[in-house]
Structure 1
Amino acid sequence: MFFPSVGAGASGAALPTHKPSAGKDEDITGKFDPTALERGAKALKELDSSPNAAKAFEVTKLQEQTKQKQLQKEMEELAAVRMRAQAEHARTEAEERRKTINHAQEQERVTAQYRAQLEAEAYQKKLQDQQKQNEVWLEQQHQQFLRQQELRKRQEQELLEMRRQQMREEKAMEREIMREKIQEETKGRIKQERENIDIHLRELRAKAAEYRKTRMDTLHTVFSGVGNAFNELMSDRSRLATLVGSLTALACGVYGARTGAHLLGRYWESRLGKPPLVRETSRWVFSKSFFNPLRFIRGKVQKKDFQEKIVFEEELAERLQWTTNSLISAKANGTPFRHMLLYGAPGTGKTLFARTLARESGMDYAIMTGGDVGPLGRDGPSEVNKLFAWADKSRKGLLLFIDEADAFLRQGRGSASAMSEDARNAISAFLHHTGTESDKFCVVLATNCREILDRAVLDRVDEQFEFPLPAVEERKRMLNQFLEEYIFRTTKTGRKIVVDEKIDDAFVQEMAEKTEGFSGRQLAKLVIAFQAAVFGSGTNTLTRGMAETVLSWKLAHFDQDIDTIERRSREQKLADA
């Protein structure tokens, strides 16, 4: 630090400043300038001579202290900056170490994930190989089973053919022995007859003469009596008139009795019998009441929900339940019955639902088929009128179910070439009886194709229900229901099928997924095919391999099923329309 001397005459003089030389490495001994020293000395003298020299010294001292404080502050700031730099450096190093550790952990995670992926792929490949081996083994077992079945059938066929050949040979030997025996007996009788021909001729002649004499005597006696009676009758006029009157009265009585019995029978048939169009009914029928005593207790049977027997999708089942409840309670509430139309693909449960509803509704029911009207010809309209007149007489209300309604109520009334006059008259009779609401009967129509029904018939219908093909869940429920009915339940003869443990809920779910497009009837046929395969194999056990074989055969021949053909024909008709 530089402190200049203070004099009395140097007050207020400026402090000298030290200016370093521009060139540090040069020799400055020969270039010294004393001017600055002179000015400094002059300033000191002026400062010493000044009265404020002491104050100037204090000021200078304070300035120096201030500079020291500033320098100390700068040093502290530099120390703080250095500490912050060290902290930042430490933080940076810690961040780098953290990043390094995270990177290492990420690398370890990626490595572990890749290792796990490789292990999973290896395990999946192992499972696939095992599955392929299982499939190959199952296929080998299936082929072995088929070969065994073929060998068994061939052996049975050969054994049956051997038995048939043996029976044919035995029959041939029996025929040959019988023929030889008959020939010997015939030869003996011929020889005996030839030897006794004279005796037989004499016996025959004697018998013929006796028979002729007896017949002639009988005829003579009869004709003599008739002639005498006729002569007596002709001679007595009163007896002749009595005989003629008696014969006439007898003829009139017989004819009148026959005609009266016929008319009385027709009357009682119209009152107590059922119309010819009705195939099945719950109403009391005179001609069958004595042979069916269970008819009188049928109404006391506990009613069940139709959904316990038939599987529908939830929305359709709910609508059908509402309509069924309103139908059952309509008679009690005094409201008219609502007519219904059930339409959809073949085998979806239309006829089954209608028959179940008819039997369990508590009403009288009658079931007919639309195809029965056409063969009646001219009698069709009158039979339709008789049917509805008979329905109007039901006290409990009658549910009339017309199956295959499109065969009877189809379009074409406006064209003479499309429909006969008798068919048009029959439809007109139906429309006449269903034109207004009725609290006597309810009509339920069932058809595969709604679009071919007459528009006036559709106008008579209050509720229409489409029965679609079952979805996966409905197919699963149907399969469980049919398996319970045809496989798990003991048959009528007491025979029970042993079911493999592998035929479980998962297998039923797999079958439901594979049978896309199957109707309820086709699913029932599939389960019945399981039953037939078990009884046909003679093992009395339903294995998973056998079930898969039957299922594969059904899937392969699905396009040839009659329900599939009819369904596609219906779809084609709808597309053309």
Structure 2
Amino acid sequence: MSWLFGYNKGQQAPPLVPGLPVPPPGGDGDGDKNKPKDKWSNFDPTGLERAAKAARELDQSRHAKEALQLAKMQEETLHLEQQVKIKEYEGALEQLKSEQIRVQAEERRKTLNEETKQNQARAQYQDKLARQRYEDQLRQQQHLNEENLRKQEESVQKQEAMRRATVEHEMELRHKNEMLRIEAEARARAKVERENADIIREQIRLKATEHRQTVLESIKTAGTVFGEGFRAFVSDWDKVTATATGLTLLALGIYSAKNATGVAGRFIEARLGKPSLVRDTSRITVVEAIKHPIKVSRRLFSRIQDALEGVVLSPKLEERVRDIAIATRNTKRNKGLYRNILMYGPPGTGKTLFAKKLATHSGMDYAIMTGGDVAPMGRDGVTAMHKVFDWASTSKRGLLLFVDEADAFLRKRATEKISEDLRATLNAFLYRTGEQSNKFMLVLASNQPEQFDWAINDRIDEIVNFDLPGLAERERLVRLYFDKYVLKPASEGKQRLKVAQFDYGKKCSELATITEGMSGREISKLGVAWQAAAYASEDGILTEAMIDARVDDAVRQHKQKMEWLKAEAKEGDKGTSKNPLQHLLEGTPV
């Protein structure tokens, strides 16, 4: 009921109550303006008067009770609004406190992070300083050690020089003393000999006389004994007859033993000995078993290997040669007739290696001969060729006869370049290979198969072209030989070889692209060159730059060889048909 007690100037007037007279406007403020201001200067007494008047009028009004209820409700509403505002204020205070706590926690966390960073930076700086101090100490210590070592070496060299000078001086003095002693002894001996010359001559004369008498008596005694024995032997006819018979039988035994030994030796040589035309063989001979028993025993108990183990070929060629290997192995198991094979292509493409693997995989022995060894034998070539096939036919496991550079003696007989001896040897070869055999298998390798005699082509059952390796095959070859000649020796630690840190797989892929046109043999020589480069270095470490240098040299040499081959092909190309060397250059079959 605050409106009953009056309001200050500027306050809102109380609401109008129906039935009550409108209170008069605020009092005369003009009179109050001149009054002195004190602590009650803002108090308006006219409000109390109006309130009293309104109260009296209200008591007389018939709506007094409703006005009182309305005023009471307004007071309660104001009171509730004030309570709500108080609660909102208290909530705002609590929220402000929470925000302050959160901000303080965030500031504390930032402070801790900053302190942690500063501590880490301080620790890193201290660690850096400690490492730097340690490195300085190491350098100083190393410098001191080098200085001490240099001083020790100088001291040792001085001591060694002094010792050498002392020893030389002692030897010189000893030599002088020895010469003086020898000279004195020689003088004394000469003096004694001059004084005792007569006595010495008499002693020599007496010794010679005694020796002469002893020899004469021995001769007389031996003659007497031999004469009596011979006289007794001649006088007894039975002893003479027995002696003559014994000597005759002894001579006959020596002659028979000599001839029998020769025949047995020739038989062993023909059956077990390696013929002169065979360069290499896995067949065990008597001489090899005696010389290398451990190697022979390992070969006997070796396991059967895969025919393509260590051989890198294109997928199509690999599939074909694997079929040949399986067929050969099954032929050997079933004791069937072997099929003859011709392998042609550029040098170093794996023909010889596959022939050895094929024999090992099939459980057969292999023998390698080259066509260049046949022509120099002349008239002995026919006999040597028959010995080869006789020796091959005695193999119990079956023999794979590999003829490398076969075009050297199996060329056309109609040409005038072939000699009579070589033609006779070729006829012997054709005679021994006229029919397929279950004892040996013939594998020919050539770079110029078009030069073969037609009869040779008639004896071939399979023709396989070994071409230069492609990109994928070159990468496999590079990885194979890099692992064999570099990584494996470096990992074992048995050799003076280490490898620097770089991406080996990426490097092998790059090298496979660079070595385009190179054969498998040339890539294998690259592996050996890398190993040799590491051995030639001061620390034994093979770096990427060393590998690149060796590859550049190999590529440059390969290009030079190809230029020589092209020049030779142009000189040899007389007709319209291509020279075999051009086929090798272009990679096309002949």
Q: TM-score range by the shorter chain?
A: 0.5 to 0.7
Mapping 1:228-377, distance limit 5 Å: 228-289=228-289, 291-292=292-293, 295=296, 298=299, 301-333=302-334, 335-377=336-378
* Alpha-carbon distance between aligned partners in 2 of 1:214 and 1:532, rounded to the nearest angstrom: 75
Mapping 1:81-92, distance limit 5 Å: none
* Alpha-carbon distance between aligned partners in 2 of 1:354 and 1:185, rounded to the nearest angstrom: 78
In the alignment, what sits opposite 1:424? Answer: 423
Q: 1:525 to 1:222 in 2, by over 3 A?
A: same
* Alpha-carbon distance between aligned partners in 2 of 1:362 and 1:402, rounded to the nearest angstrom: 19
> After superposition, what is the alpha-carbon deviation per residue over 1:245-271, rounded to whole angstroms, capped at 9, x for unaligned?
322222222222222233233334434
- Describe the SS at the equivalent of 2:431: helix
Q: State yes or no: 1:389 paired with 2:390.
A: yes
1:341–1:464: 8 Å Cα contact kept in structure 2? yes
- Describe the SS at the equivalent of 2:244: helix
1:282–1:295: 8 Å Cα contact kept in structure 2? no
In the alignment, what sits opposite 1:92? Answer: none
> After superposition, what is the alpha-carbon deviation per residue over 1:221-264, rounded to whole angstroms, capped at 9, x for unaligned?
22333233333444444433332332222222222222223323
Q: 1:534 to 1:188 in 2, by over 3 A?
A: farther
1:506 shift after superposition: 2.5
1:482 shift after superposition: 0.4
In the alignment, what sits opposite 1:549? Answer: 549
> After superposition, what is the alpha-carbon deviation per residue over 1:182-229, rounded to whole angstroms, capped at 9, x for unaligned?
977875675455333636655554444444333333233223332333
- Describe the SS at the equivalent of 1:464: strand
Mapping 1:165-244, distance limit 5 Å: 191=187, 194-195=190-191, 196=193, 198=197, 204-244=204-244
* Alpha-carbon distance between aligned partners in 2 of 1:181 and 1:245, rounded to the nearest angstrom: 74
- Describe the SS at the equivalent of 1:310: coil
In structure 2, stretches of 5+ residues that fail to align are 1-160, 581-590
How well do the aligned residues superpose, as a CA RMSD in angstroms? 3.7
1:481 shift after superposition: 0.4
1:444 shift after superposition: 0.8
2:272–2:391: 8 Å Cα contact kept in structure 1? no
In the alignment, what sits opposite 2:514? Answer: 514
Mapping 1:392-541, distance limit 5 Å: 392-411=393-412, 413-414=413-414, 418-490=417-489, 494-495=494-495, 497-541=497-541
1:318 shift after superposition: 1.8
- Describe the SS at the equivalent of 1:419: coil
Q: 1:503 to 1:249 in 2, by over 3 A?
A: same
2:496–2:535: 8 Å Cα contact kept in structure 1? no
Q: 1:568 to 1:483 in 2, by over 3 A?
A: farther
Q: 1:225 to 1:321 in 2, by over 3 A?
A: same
Q: 1:214 to 1:553 in 2, by over 3 A?
A: farther
* Alpha-carbon distance between aligned partners in 2 of 1:395 and 1:294, rounded to the nearest angstrom: 20
Q: 1:576 to 1:295 in 2, by over 3 A?
A: same
Q: 1:564 to 1:369 in 2, by over 3 A?
A: farther
* Alpha-carbon distance between aligned partners in 1 of 2:408 and 2:423, rounded to the nearest angstrom: 12
1:503–1:543: 8 Å Cα contact kept in structure 2? no
> After superposition, what is the alpha-carbon deviation per residue over 1:369-402, rounded to whole angstroms, capped at 9, x for unaligned?
3344345443321232232233233344321112
1:304 shift after superposition: 3.6
2:305–2:357: 8 Å Cα contact kept in structure 1? no
Q: Normalising by the residue count of structure 1, what TM-score does the alignment of the two structures yield? A: 0.61
> After superposition, what is the alpha-carbon deviation per residue over 1:485-517, rounded to whole angstroms, capped at 9, x for unaligned?
010002687136332333432222222222233
* Alpha-carbon distance between aligned partners in 1 of 2:544 and 2:269, rounded to the nearest angstrom: 57
Q: 1:287 to 1:528 in 2, by over 3 A?
A: closer
The letter of the residue matching 2:436 is E
> After superposition, what is the alpha-carbon deviation per residue over 1:336-381, rounded to whole angstroms, capped at 9, x for unaligned?
2111122222222221111222222212332333344345443321
1:289–1:295: 8 Å Cα contact kept in structure 2? yes
The letter of the residue matching 1:356 is K
- Describe the SS at the equivalent of 2:401: strand
Q: 1:226 to 1:333 in 2, by over 3 A?
A: closer
* Alpha-carbon distance between aligned partners in 2 of 1:532 and 1:317, rounded to the nearest angstrom: 32
* Alpha-carbon distance between aligned partners in 2 of 1:459 and 1:180, rounded to the nearest angstrom: 90
1:282 shift after superposition: 3.9
- Describe the SS at the equivalent of 1:308: coil
* Alpha-carbon distance between aligned partners in 2 of 1:183 and 1:559, rounded to the nearest angstrom: 72
* Alpha-carbon distance between aligned partners in 2 of 1:530 and 1:208, rounded to the nearest angstrom: 79
2:500–2:541: 8 Å Cα contact kept in structure 1? yes
* Alpha-carbon distance between aligned partners in 2 of 1:340 and 1:569, rounded to the nearest angstrom: 29
Q: 1:512 to 1:248 in 2, by over 3 A?
A: same
The letter of the residue matching 2:541 is T
1:343–1:465: 8 Å Cα contact kept in structure 2? yes
* Alpha-carbon distance between aligned partners in 2 of 1:556 and 1:325, rounded to the nearest angstrom: 40
* Alpha-carbon distance between aligned partners in 1 of 2:565 and 2:238, rounded to the nearest angstrom: 80
1:292 shift after superposition: 3.2
Q: 1:300 to 1:573 in 2, by over 3 A?
A: farther
The letter of the residue matching 1:222 is A
2:329–2:361: 8 Å Cα contact kept in structure 1? no
* Alpha-carbon distance between aligned partners in 1 of 2:449 and 2:397, rounded to the nearest angstrom: 30
The letter of the residue matching 1:194 is A
1:278–1:366: 8 Å Cα contact kept in structure 2? yes
1:576 shift after superposition: 4.8
In structure 1, stretches of 5+ residues that fail to align are 1-165
Q: 1:209 to 1:419 in 2, by over 3 A?
A: farther
- Describe the SS at the equivalent of 1:489: helix
- Describe the SS at the equivalent of 2:366: strand
Q: 1:451 to 1:335 in 2, by over 3 A?
A: same
The letter of the residue matching 1:410 is R
The letter of the residue matching 1:447 is S
Residue range with higher mean Cα deviation, 235-244 or 506-515: 235-244
1:343–1:467: 8 Å Cα contact kept in structure 2? yes
In the alignment, what sits opposite 1:24? Answer: none
* Alpha-carbon distance between aligned partners in 1 of 2:439 and 2:553, rounded to the nearest angstrom: 50
* Alpha-carbon distance between aligned partners in 1 of 2:219 and 2:516, rounded to the nearest angstrom: 88
Q: Normalising by the residue count of structure 2, what TM-score does the alignment of the two structures yield? A: 0.60
The letter of the residue matching 1:467 is F
* Alpha-carbon distance between aligned partners in 2 of 1:303 and 1:225, rounded to the nearest angstrom: 75
1:568 shift after superposition: 7.4
Residue range with higher mean Cα deviation, 259-268 or 552-561: 552-561
1:483 shift after superposition: 0.5
* Alpha-carbon distance between aligned partners in 2 of 1:422 and 1:372, rounded to the nearest angstrom: 13
The letter of the residue matching 1:531 is Q
> After superposition, what is the alpha-carbon deviation per residue over 1:399-424, rounded to whole angstroms, capped at 9, x for unaligned?
1112232333234x345x63343322
2:393–2:440: 8 Å Cα contact kept in structure 1? yes
* Alpha-carbon distance between aligned partners in 2 of 1:217 and 1:564, rounded to the nearest angstrom: 92
1:180 shift after superposition: 7.9
The letter of the residue matching 2:309 is E
Mapping 1:6-21, distance limit 5 Å: none
> Identity over the aligned pairs, expressed in percent?
36
- Describe the SS at the equivalent of 1:502: coil
